[in-house]
Structure formats: structure tokens, C-alpha cells
Amino acid sequence: MAFKLKSLVIFTGSLYLLLSLFAVLSLAGNPAATTITPPDAVCETTRYPPLCKTLLGNQNGNVFVFGRILLRKSLSQSRRFLNQLDSYLQSPSSLSQPTIGALEDCRFLAGLNFDYLSDALDAVKNLNDFLSSSQAQDLQTVFSAVLTNQQTCQDGLQTTASDGRAKDDISSVLSDDNKLHSVSLALFTKGWVPKKNITTSWPNNGVHLDFRHGRLPLKMSPRVEAIFNSSKSHGRKLLQSDQSVVITDIVVVSQDGSGNFTAINDAINAAPNNTASGVGYFLVYITEGVYQEYVSIPKNKKYLMLLGDGINSTIITGEHNVVDNYTTFNSATFAVVAQGFVAVSITFRNTAGPDKHQAVAVRNGADLSAFYSCSFEGYQDTLYAHSLRQFYRECDIYGTVDFIFGNAAVVLQNCNLYPRLPLSGQFNAITAQGRTDPNQNTGTSIQNATIKAADDLAPSVGSVQTYLGRPWKEYSRTVFMESWMDNLIDPAGWQVWDGTFALSTLYYAEYNNSGPGADTSSRVTWQGYHVINATDAANFTVSNFLMGDAWLPQTGVPYSPGL
């Protein structure tokens, strides 16, 4: 992350203002939610009243009317932004290859944002009442992701694009909406997102299933079970009588030709489109082997489960990196944006090495996604937890600089974190969280982890500094709790990004950690750093931070709901 930019608070403007405006008066039981009023009363509560008033004009209405007006404006603006990107990409011969790559990333992200905004408009276009807390959280998650997508576009243009006009034009469009982002997201959070009812004690409802040692709890139709049993003999060992995970269909990937496919991408292409939540998973069983593929799972391949033969047995590997003119976003060996994705017992690698700088093994922008018993291997920027809600359990993560980064709402539970030997003169930073606004419901929560040096770093622990994290963006938020830290962790715990940037606006916290690296007596004294108690730590548990009890059980991935 050495080349990543400081926080740029960016967005397709009308979006945020919009959501917040139709939300500001909508707390449950507030009769003002249906009060007819001129926009001035709402706009005066924002940081930029003149801009708000200009967008809404002089018409009267209630918070829902104002909200829908601005949501439609935002959707129209996102369409115009897509058209602008298309106009540049239609004449690629006039652009450098790095610029084309950055614009293609922007086009991909803008397409996601247009879909998100369209879905949001559908959700509220006939709604003249309050949202439930779960619906409000869903929308806050979506709009946090839209902001993240825009920020990612901006970062890619600034660090990679070399054609001044294209970069300046697109960046100008994004930057012009900076104020709207701040105003509207703040109002959305104030109006539509209820105060959290934090649970500090949990029922024993965490799932504890065993995917490993040849055991996979599946609920299959007779037809699907027959298909699975006709696969390779060791595939049959995965069946178990415990019926917990619903599988609708299955294909087998095997390099020796004994399965349905020899390539992972071919199996993914065979998956159905837009599977509904609760229907079940399309299972891709990937047998032992080293798969040199760049895998990208698109938005329409929902509720897809990839099952391997185990860490270091099923391996997906690549070597894309920024030195070779890929954007950080597009350097990933494995990328997914499809809702409900689950991966089990697979190793994901980027073998570019430390001298190639940013080189992502996995980029995850999939809402309600889970990785169980997987390994992520790289150096700088190994695991890109990009956006939306994510869960990792009993995974191994290797890296050097900022090797867990992004702006998802993510919990990593019972994982092993292995800092590696960096380049000469570099230090290790385990996390670089990228929250750009205090009202995004994003952050990195690391619970019950084991943090120790990888084999290549172990002999050099005394000469290489390793930190828990550093603030990539202005409102970076990371919590380590109930984890064991070896003596490789620097006594200061955390490192700066650039001078005093973000030190008063970040939120870094530690709770009840142990081991020789967990002593907080010499930690940084920044305004944003905290040693917290159990009540505060409960905010970052699976149940509270991810609302995981509502969606993790269907994945079959084990989890602990609380502390």
C-alpha cells in the first residue's frame, strides 16, 4: 500500500444527499416523517445547505418525497457517469494501457453502483413508511459500498492512469460530488439507521460444523446426490448425514478429466444466474491440483459455493501486480462480487513477490460472503476485503505491507495471521482499513486470531517492525480482540500513514488480547486509539457488526456470535 493515496472523500453526489434526506425525519415514531415542509428545514441540518436547497428547489414535500426526487437524480447521474466512461473506452487507441485498465475498473464499479441504486429505488419508490432495522442496515451497507466503489475508481486513476485529460475529467466528476457525499450519508445514517441495540450476551446459537477431514454436511435432492456419488471416489467421502447446507446442483472440476470440467472458470460459467436467497447453493467441487487461473465471479452468479480438497491441496494461483501495469483492483488472482458466495478448503495465491508491490490474492466485494478454512498467500495487499459484508473463519493469511485491506464490514474469526519477510527497508502492517466517512458501517474486526511470524520472517523478527495496522483512509476503523500476539508486534502497535493524517479521525481499538505482543502500555497515544471494554467490543462481533445470525447459518460455516 506504499503508493495508495490519502483519503479522498468522493462520490456520485446526489446519491448520499438523497438517501439521507428522505431519511432524516424517519426515526420510528416520529410524526414529522410525514410533515409537509419546504426543503430549507431539512437542508439546514446538513453541512452544505445551499447545495441541498439547489437540488430540491422551492417545492414542498415530506422526507419521502425529497428522498425519491434525489434518488432519481442520483440514478440519472450514475447513468451519465457510465456514458462518460464508455465514451473514453470506445476510443482506446488514444489512451495508454494503464489508463485503459483504470477506466475499465471504473466502468465495472460504476455498473455495480448503477445496479445498487436501481435496486434501492425499487425498494423505496412506493414506501411511505419507516424501514425495518434490517432493511436500513442493508441500504446503509449498499451505500457504503457505492462510496467505496467510487473511491476505488479515484484511487486507480490517480495511481495508474497516465493520460491527463481522461484522468482529470473523470476525477473532476467524482470530486465535484464530495460535499454531497458527506451531507447525504450523514442524514441517511441519522434518519434511517436506528440506534443499535447491542447484544452483550448471546445464546449458544453459533454454528459448529465440520467441513474438513472428508466431511461436508449437505442437504441434497436425490438427483444431486446421485450426481455427487458418481464423481471421483474421494468425492463421495464428503457426504454426511447431517443435513445443514442446501445444495441445488453440483459440478466437479478435476485436472485429470474425471470431472465435469478441467477449469474453474468453466464450472462457474455453468452456474445458474441470480439464484434467490434460501434456494440453496450451486456447488463447485474443485479437486486437488494447482489451478493457474484468474477467476472472477460476476454479480449474477449468486449463492455459489466453491469446495476444495484442503489448504495446499486445491490451489488457485496467479501473479498479476501493479509493477506490471495492473491496477491494485485488477491484480487479484481470485475476485468475487456475487452475493452469498462461500469458499471452503482452498488456497489462493499471488506469487508476484514483494518487489512487485501491490499484488492481490483475493478481492472480495460480495455481500454476505464467507471463507472457511482457506489460505491467502501474497506479500503486499494479499486480501482485499473491498466492500459489503464478509466473514472469514479459521483461515491463514500471509503478507507484508497492508496485507488485509479494503473497506468492507468484515469479521475475521479464529484466523492465523502470518506476517512475512518484506523488502529491505520496509515494515509490515497487517491491516490498512479504508473507511472514508464516519457514517459508513464498515471496518475490520479481528477476533480470536493467532498472530505470529511466517517462517521466512521468524529469524528476522528483531530487525523488522510489524504493526497491527495503519490508516489508509481518513476514518480507518480496525479492532483486534481476544487475539494472541507474538513478540513480532512493535510495542507501539500501530503505524502512521503520512504524518498526522487521520490520527484523530480513525478508530483503532484493542480488547482482551494476550501474548508478548499484546501489551498496550507502550501503544500509540493518538486520539483515535482506544483500549476498550467488553461493552464496546460487542459492537464488533459477528452478531452485531455483521448481523451474522440472520445469514451465516445457511452457509454451514462455523461461527461464534459474540465475545
Scan for cell 493520460, then name that residue.
163
**Measured distance CA(399)–CA(414) in Å, rounded:** 17
Scan for cell 503508493, then name that residue.
3
**Measured distance CA(440)–CA(448) in Å, rounded:** 25
Run of H or E residues at 225: helix 222-229
> What count of other Cβ atoms lies within 10 Å of the Cβ of residue 486?
17
The residue annotated as part of the active site, out of 105, 163, 309, 402, is 402
CB 391 within 8 A of CB 370: yes
Q: What's the sign of the alpha-carbon dihedral 540, 366, 134, 30?
A: positive
- Tell me, rounded to whole angstroms, the distance of Cα 436 from its chain centroid: 14
Is 169 marked active-site?
Answer: no
- Compute, in degrees rounded to 10, the torsion defined by CA atoms 167, 170, 172, 173: 180
**Measured distance CA(126)–CA(379) in Å, rounded:** 49
**Measured distance CA(354)–CA(399) in Å, rounded:** 9
Q: What's the sign of the alpha-carbon dihedral 227, 228, 229, 230?
A: positive
For 492, the grid coordinates are 507501539
Q: What's the sign of the alpha-carbon dihedral 49, 52, 54, 58?
A: negative
Scan for cell 497516465, then name that residue.
162
**Measured distance CA(480)–CA(514) in Å, rounded:** 11
How many Å from the N-terminal Cα to the C-terminal Cα in the chain? 31
Residues in the chain: 563
How far from 484 is each of 138, 333, 446, CA to CA, in Å?
A: 33, 30, 11
Q: What's at 84, amino acid-wise?
A: Q
Query: Of the candidates 220, 138, 152, 208, which has an alpha carbon nearest to the alpha carbon of residue 556?
Result: 208
Angle among Cα 424, 472, 366 to the nearest 5 degrees reads: 110
Print burial letters for 530-555: b (CB count within 10 Å at least 16), e (below 16): bebeeeebbbbbbbbbbbbbebbbbb
**Measured distance CA(156)–CA(326) in Å, rounded:** 10
**Measured distance CA(310)–CA(291) in Å, rounded:** 14
Q: What's at 491, amino acid-wise?
A: P
Scan for cell 472523500, then name that residue.
9
Q: Which residues does 425 contact at the CB level (< 8 Å), separation at least 6?
A: none
Residues annotated as catalytic are 402
